[in-house]
């Protein structure tokens, strides 16, 4: 598999910071966030807002960190034995992902990789946990919508988002190879078409329903306060699990949290 050989080279890592994991099955753990830039998706959830890391996807910033920066950061935070590898879409950078598995294996660090599932990445050491968040029709940008930096959505923009939106083949390979996973599905509690797609996907991908977490849509505190009650009630009556998003409740749109 591809490796990083020059630890002083700038990589497509745009953010490196400490946080508390706030979503899915590892919620509550202090973690180091390694955020890569670049993503094939351009998610827009209507009243739930744009992707909450649009700086890595819709308007991607350039990478500004080296692999040595990651090593140094863990040395500065010896109490942390978790890593949240996120984006953007980390699977667009297989050498970075693979090198991080070597580092984590050596240091006893538990890696969670957040991915929309667009690409399969084979690594020398399997990822400890795949946090899969496939994108359904409720994520498709609306023609004429305006992005956070003022770009108007056109057909080309929508086509780009849809190209790898649910890459079932890559997702099956990912879950088979890395084996430990959970699935986080973003939903506003209203879109029944998207809900039906989610159920069909879970069946087609042979997902263990005990690993399904329903996550309320919203990139701001106010948006989450709208969708939270609906997701509470749906999970209460229908099953799966509810994933909290307390970092947004606590810090709203603040970055590096």
Tens digits of residue pLDDT in 62-79: 999 999 999 999 999 999
Please tell me the distance from the alpha carbon of residue 28 to that of residue 22, in angstroms, as a whole number: 6
| pLDDT cut 90: percent of the chain above it | 96
Classified as helix, coil or strand, 225 is: helix
- Name the superfamily (CATH) of residues 13-251: Aldolase class I (3.20.20.70)
pLDDT over threshold 90, residue 48: no
pTM as predicted: 0.95
pLDDT over threshold 90, residue 207: yes
Ordered by start, the domain boundaries in the chain are 13-251
Mean pLDDT score across all residues of the chain? 96
Tell me which residue of 198, 130, 153, 170 sits closest to 54, measured CA to CA: 153
What is the predicted pLDDT for the residue at 223?
A: 94
Tell me which residue of 245, 234, 213 sits closest to 49, measured CA to CA: 245
The token duo for 86 is 């996120």
What is the predicted pLDDT for the residue at 36?
A: 98
**CB contact burial 18-50 (16+ within 10 A = b; e otherwise):** bbebbbbbbeeeebbbbbbbbbbbbbbbbebbb
What is the predicted pLDDT for the residue at 188?
A: 94
Query: What is the arithmetic mean of pLDDT over 138-167?
Result: 97
What is the predicted pLDDT for the residue at 90?
A: 98
The token duo for 112 is 């969670």
Give the CA distances from residue 42 to residues 12, 46, 97, 98, 246, in Å, rounded to whole numbers and listed in that order.
18, 12, 22, 25, 23
pLDDT over threshold 90, residue 47: no
């Amino acid at each position: 598999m591809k490796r990083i050989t020059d630890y002083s080279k700038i990589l497509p890592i745009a953010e490196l910071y400490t946080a508390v994991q706030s979503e899915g099955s590892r919620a509550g753990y202090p973690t180091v966030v390694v955020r890569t830039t670049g993503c094939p998706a351009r998610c827009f959830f209507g009243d739930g807002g744009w992707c909450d890391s649009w700086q890595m996807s819709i308007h991607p910033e350039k990478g500004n960190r080296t692999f040595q920066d990651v090593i140094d950061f863990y040395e500065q935070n010896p109490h942390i034995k978790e890593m949240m590898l996120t984006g953007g879409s980390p699977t667009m950078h297989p050498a970075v992902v693979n090198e991080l598995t070597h580092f984590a294996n050596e240091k006893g660090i538990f890696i969670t990789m957040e991915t929309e599932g667009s690409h399969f990445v084979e690594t020398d050491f399997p990822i400890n946990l795949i946090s899969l968040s496939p994108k359904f029709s409720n994520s498709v940008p609306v023609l004429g919508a305006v992005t956070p930096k003022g770009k108007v959505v056109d057909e080309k923009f929508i086509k780009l988002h849809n190209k790898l939106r649910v890459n079932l083949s890559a997702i099956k390979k990912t879950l088979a190879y890395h084996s430990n996973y959970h699935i986080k599905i973003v939903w506003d509690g209203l879109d029944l078409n998207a809900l039906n797609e989610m159920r069909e996907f879970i069946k087609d991908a042979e997902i263990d329903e005990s690993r399904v977490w329903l996550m309320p849509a919203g990139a701001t505190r106010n948006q989450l306060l709208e969708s939270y009650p609906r997701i509470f009630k749906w999970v209460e009556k229908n099953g799966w699990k509810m994933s909290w998003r307390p970092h947004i409740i606590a810090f709203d749109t603040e970055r590096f949290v």
